[in-house]
Amino acid sequence: MFHNVIVKTPCPSICEGITSAPELGKPIYEKALQQHARYIEALRQCGVEVTILPADDRYPDSCFVEDVAVLTRKCAVVTNPGAPSRNGETAAIVPVLERFYPKEDIHFIREPGTLEGGDVMMVGDTFYVGLSARTNAEGIAQFAAILHRYGFACEQVPLEKVLHLKTGVNYLENGNLLVSGEFTDKPCFQGYHRVQIPEAEAYAANCIWVNGTVIVPEGYPAVKAAVEGLGYPVLTVDTSEFRKIDGGLSCLSLRF
Ligand code: CIR
């Protein structure tokens, strides 16, 4: 059960966000703002309190607030993003986390460790972490040491192709895992009820479970049908502008 969600308003410089898909064009700021507002509305429909942080135009990718922290029910971990243009985004999250966690339960990933929240998938008390272009082995070692102090487990998942772990695999609770591409056959996920996402809709593997409801990106009918088939109520949100810079539903919030 999540009570709180933190989001960060997209900034005008979003059109300069990092992308692996320039062929999709640049995000349109006004449209991104509208989609973000609808995202907040969907989250509220799921019964969470939404904290909205102001836009920060110094950081084009800063609306992807998931990457700057990992929030658990016992502690918060401020990350150290591996993307140089995003590294400074963490400063703004610290005072916000202090509203929700005692200072002694706020931890930090430090150089030379790097870690981005998009690489962390929580499954109960186990945290799967992608070893990626953004998250390195030292970052994972620091993260694991913090988690162990709270009785949580950490499992490393090497990535081959995608940006972040949750680009391709997402847990919907109740043993259900949405998997696409390289995650289909990973041994560490064999024990879950895996729902294979067709390649044509791979982007929509990034759905989020929020208090029993699953939010699915708009325009991916096979994924929507698969999630409904699992018995979840579904809300859809158009994320076209965020997709242009490799962002999805999970990236846009911290849920805790
Ligand atoms: C980036 O490359 O960092 C952004 N353009 C996209 C971040 C997406 N975040 C996520 O998957 N958690």
Q: What is the 3-state secondary structure (H, E, C) of 97-125?
A: HCCCCCHHHEEECCCCCCECHHHEEEECC
Q: What is the pTM of this model?
A: 0.98
Q: Is 164 a catalytic residue?
A: yes
Percent of the chain surpassing pLDDT 90: 100
Give the ligand 1 atom nearest the CA of 117. 12
**Predicted local distance difference test score (pLDDT) of residue 50:** 98
Probe residue for ligand 1, chosen from 70, 86, 163, 167 as the CB with the greatest number of ligand atoms within 8 Å: 163
Q: In this structure, are residues 213 and 232 in contact, taking their beta carbons and an 8 Å threshold? A: yes
CA of 136 to the centre of ligand 1 (A): 16
**Predicted local distance difference test score (pLDDT) of residue 233:** 98
- For 121-168, what is each residue's pLDDT tens digit? 999 999 999 999 999 999 999 999 999 999 999 999 999 999 999 999
Q: What is the mean pLDDT of residues 57-69?
A: 98
**Predicted local distance difference test score (pLDDT) of residue 124:** 98
- For 66-89, what is each residue's pLDDT tens digit? 999 999 999 999 999 999 999 999
Closest CA to 105 of 67, 78, 87: 78
Average pLDDT over all residues of the chain:
98
Place of tokens 């898909």: 21
CA of 64 to the centre of ligand 1 (A): 6
* Residues paired with residue 123 on neighbouring β-strands, in sequence order: 126
Is the CB of 67 within 6 Å of ligand 1?
yes
Give the ligand 1 atom nearest the CA of 246. 6
Domains by residue range for the chain, with CATH:
4-255 (3.75.10.10)
Percent of the chain surpassing pLDDT 70: 100
> Six-digit token pair at 203?
């982007």
| Catalytic-labelled residue, pool 164, 188, 193, 207 | 164
Give the ligand 1 atom nearest the CA of 250. 12
**Predicted local distance difference test score (pLDDT) of residue 203:** 98
Q: What is the mean pLDDT of residues 194-222?
A: 98
Is the CB of 167 within 6 Å of ligand 1?
yes
Is the CB of 118 within 6 Å of ligand 1?
yes
**Predicted local distance difference test score (pLDDT) of residue 154:** 98
**Predicted local distance difference test score (pLDDT) of residue 66:** 98
Q: Is 251 a catalytic residue?
A: yes
Is the CB of 245 within 6 Å of ligand 1?
yes
What distance in Å separates the CA atoms of residue 227 and residue 156, rounded to the nearest whole number?
A: 26
Is the CB of 154 within 6 Å of ligand 1?
no
**Predicted local distance difference test score (pLDDT) of residue 101:** 98
Give the ligand 1 atom nearest the CA of 251. 12
Coil, strand or helix at 215? strand
- For 231-250, what is each residue's pLDDT tens digit? 999 999 999 999 999 999 99
